[in-house]
Chain A
Amino acid sequence: MSKLDSKIPEGPLDKKWEKYKSSVPLVNPANKRSLEIIIVGSGLAGASAAASLAEMGYKVKVFCFQDSPRRAHSIAAQGGVNAAKNYQNDGDSVYRLFYDTIKGGDYRAREANVHRLAEVSGNIIDQCVAQGVPLAREYGGMLSNRSFGGTQVQRTFYAAGQTGQQLLLGAYSALQRQVGLGNVELFARHEMLEVVTIEGKARGIIARNLITGKLERHFGHAVLLGTGGYGNVFFLSTNAMGSNVTAAWKAHKKGAFFGNPCYTQIHPTCIPVSGDHQSKLTLMSESLRNDGRIWVPKKIEDSVAIREGRKKAIDIAEDDRDYYLERRYPAFGNLVPRDVASRAAKERCDAGFGVNKTGEAVYLDFASNMKYKYGKQVAIVKGIHNPTEEQLHAFGKEVVKEKYGNLFDMYKQITGEDPYEMPMMIYPAVHYTMGGIWVDYNLMTTVPGLYALGEANFSDHGANRLGASALMQGLADGYFVIPYTIGAYLSGDIRTKAIPTTHEAFEAAEKEVQARIDKFFAIKGSKPVDYFHKKLGKIMWDKCGMARNEAGLKQAIVEIQQLQKDFWADVRVSGEANELNPELEKAGRVADFLELGELMCVDALHRVESCGGHFREESAETSGEQEGEAKRDDANFMYVGAWEYKGPNTFELHKEELKYEVIKVSQRSYK
């Protein structure tokens, strides 16, 4: 099966979803009660899908590896959630949100999916408010908005710097309500380790009870994966420590194609790496770029002096500072999209202008807005006409504290430096993966009955995701898309009785999982799991990170294949299988990351163009105003690269051509 059918409904773009909803087959309430759905992952996508499907009457089982569904990594999202409400009367519309998302994704996303996303975005806000999610409000009692990168309207709804937390707790509450009503059975501290397929259809999973170590078999008429992204393949990322690709990877090996694995989002404003001990990186919200100016010294000797501790940021005169984003992109300045900002930081640091000990950091400086924008405003209100620099600083500090206080506190806690007095030091870090399991319009993978939702799928963000769109997509998929689209499949499955888990397919899948676990313990090697994970991360970051080239990627593939061999020969997994064993959990996840890393490099190698977060050094503009910028190759690469697993180290490419019927494809320019 080489032809990918995206199952996009016929008709004009803005009528497709409406028409689909009124024509999709339904499942009657009596039949819903005998249909079982397994949902793996309890983040925004998983929890919202579980609550909605259970409300509809399906029997739902939810699995998460954390001790509670409330801890899924959606909780850490800071900035906000986009919706085309046009509450600010600034000209926003469904079409504009759709257009910004396609453009931001560098014309590598599917029109029909993204338009649907924009259509349901408003419902998300309504639903969350009805649930009691305390989004930020104005004094008149109306909802408040802020702006994010890549847009010219204010459409981002938020709850301080904790929007993900509030939205997830809303979905979690809805989920727990269904647990209390007996419509959802919850399996916390359970990790899915295999998909069970029967006659080509997904019919259940094998999960390990992380407390007892026991392998469990669970049947479902359909299996939904809301298991998030795979940024932790880089070891260091802003993802949670437990975030992993295992569920998605097992699905891939059971026949689900993997779409655009090389599309990785490297977020420009993260706290830089401070040393080898570091276990994770921390994001500083994109919203900070509204008030912070990014710079490095103009003179390389100043950068050297700063690195050696002889100078500080404040010692560099205004004229000796290079506000390189404002210099290179005067139209968008500090608010260029994430991929562009990240590459620009790397370019300066590679050229030797980095400002911390490792040479990999740039300044994010609030001083000028703090003093001359906010400080001055306050001074005027207070009637002080000739404020001193100290007064301006003090006044401005209070305003900045109210806007970003929790982020500044977090920065101080991690780095030990006070960002109110010194500019922040930031550097790009892995944050999100646009790639994921290939799905059709119904969110179904290439395995019938197996679905992927939220970050786990590839569908909506193309080659680069805009800020505040991840929360929107996760909730759209769970609350408003899957409840409809799953009917298209389950309506044909109403005569299928629950299959007993004594079926040979369950038997075989469990044996496979058990054999893998036994193998880990049998190796008795000399190095802990993290040793291999860190090595993989370094290969990926150096050769499949912000800039990629043919030689580097080829070398990375060789190195990863060698690392796979070393891992299976020399890893040491301590403890036992029949108990809580975090080392065993990590071993399984890293084994899968080692295979995924190879596929990411294979995908990056084949895509000889630059688009969004995927920058191939061979494909850059060589002259004119856009010199050095990413160069897409629409003639040869306007497709989704969906990879089929064909056995160890072997992947076959399938292409889904992208057709733009409504949007005019053009070069992204932020100059």
Chain B
Amino acid sequence: MSGNMNLTLKVWRQKNGGSKGELVTYPVSDISPDMSFLEMFDVLNDQLVTEGKEPIAFDHDCREGICGMCSMHINGHAHGPKDQVTTCQLHMRSFKDGDTIVVEPWRAAAFPVVKDLVVDRSSFDRIIAKGGFISVNTGNAKDANNLPIPKVDADKAFEAAACIGCGACVATCKNSSAMLFVSAKVAQLSLLPQGKAEASQRVLNMVAQMDEEGFGSCTNTGACEVECPKGISIQNIAIMNKEYLKASVVSEQEAQ
């Protein structure tokens, strides 16, 4: 079922990390308002392949807003115009016939462009590897209900843990800061009793790695929270700052 929308896309094309990129204009026609934004890209890519041209590379996987792989900067907004919606869940009914849509990759020093709209977010994995965990080996756990956790704390921890690691916060921040991403993990684990034992070491190590990766500092503009597709709160940043201060003052343990 084809639709009746005709649009003009201006899409960032870049051969690879080492080359210079540019915006290239593509007209697309017969777009159905029921299509998702990425399905519109599928249509365009099929068209490009059929014409013997190279399709546009973009990251995507689950297409239901949970894996965090899709990452388009659409008309100046990470994940496009709608609140709390990932690129893959954005539908064409959110646009009007005749619109011009500009699509760019995430822009941040710590997220180098790989090709077209694809960026390298492995810096996030390296930050988690420095402390985004509780050090418990398989088989060491006691019965789960031996550790009652107040529902309020569990719910707060869950809200922080709902981060999908897409990087929209970084792409949105004028300083390319990763504070929202890092703080969501720090807050989740520090809110739970299981995470307290290594809380100091965790926050110091993760922040050190964040700095090493080249993410910018936080200047409290709050843009990250506005654009986050999962509504992760900047309260987490406050929690992390508190944890960091506490760890710096109290802990004798240096970041390893």
Contacts and interface: CB of A to CB of B under 8 A. Distances in A.
A413 B141 contact: no
Contact of B158 (A52, A66, A166, A174): A166
A125 B161 CA distance: 17
B55 A276 contact: no
B75 interface: no
Interface string B116-142: 001011101100111111111111111
Interface in B91-105: 91, 93
B46 A71 contact: no
A71 B68 contact: yes
Contacts of B134: 130-132, 173
B200 interface: no
B128 A414 contact: no
Contact of A70 (B46, B68, B143, B189): B68
A531 B133 CA distance: 43
Contacts of B54: 574-575
Interface stretch (B144-152, B217-225, B233-241): B144-152
Contacts of B149: 137, 141
A240 B62 contact: yes
Contact of B141 (A129, A165, A177, A581): A129
B133 A174 contact: yes
Given A125-B144, A186-B125, A279-B38, A75 B66 contact: yes
B39 A278 contact: yes
B61 interface: yes
B63 A241 contact: yes
A149 to B, nearest CB: 21
A547 interface: no
A242 interface: yes
A283 B62 CA distance: 11
Contacts of A530: 42, 46
A483 B138 CA distance: 10
Contacts of B132: 173, 176
A574 to B, nearest CB: 5
A132 to B, nearest CB: 5
A583 B148 contact: no
B137 A70 contact: no
Contact of A180 (B57, B61, B129, B192): B129
A139 B27 CA distance: 55
Main SS of chain B's interface residues?
A: loop
A162 B85 CA distance: 16
Interface in A99-149: 123, 125-143
Contacts of B145: 85, 87, 142-143
Contacts of A413: 85, 89, 91
Contacts of B85: 413
Interface string A411-426: 0011110000000000
A159 B62 contact: no
A572 B54 CA distance: 11
B215 to A, nearest CB: 16
B115 interface: yes
A127 B138 contact: yes
Contacts of A166: 158, 161
A70 B157 CA distance: 18
Nearest to B146: A126
A131 B61 CA distance: 26
Most buried by A among B32, B128, B157, B162: B128
B36 interface: yes
B49 A528 contact: yes
Contacts of A275: 1-2, 32, 34-35
B75 to A, nearest CB: 18
Given A176-B128, A186-B125, A580 B143 contact: no
Given A240-B61, A413-B85, A176 B125 contact: yes
A416 B34 contact: yes
Contact of B162 (A126, A131, A162): A162
Interface in A66-91: 66-71, 73, 75-76, 85, 87
A173 B57 contact: no
Contacts of A276: 1-2
A580 B118 contact: yes
B133 A277 contact: no
A159 B158 contact: yes
A172 interface: yes
B63 A132 contact: no
Contact of A71 (B16, B45, B67, B138): B67
A132 B189 contact: yes
Contacts of B20: none
Contacts of B150: 137, 141
A269 interface: no
Contacts of B38: 279
A128 to B, nearest CB: 8
B210 to A, nearest CB: 14
Interface string B18-61: 00000000000000111110110011011011101111010111
A141 B151 contact: yes
A242 B61 contact: yes
A210 to B, nearest CB: 9
11 contacts: A68-B121, A71-B165, A130-B144, A135-B154, A142-B145, A177-B129, A277-B2, A277-B43, A279-B42, A530-B42, A574-B54
Interface of B: 1-2, 15-16, 32-36, 38-39, 42-43, 45-46, 48-50, 52-55, 57, 59-69, 85, 89, 91, 93, 114-115, 118, 120-122, 124-125, 128-145, 147-151, 154-155, 157-158, 161-162, 164-165, 188-189, 192, 194-195
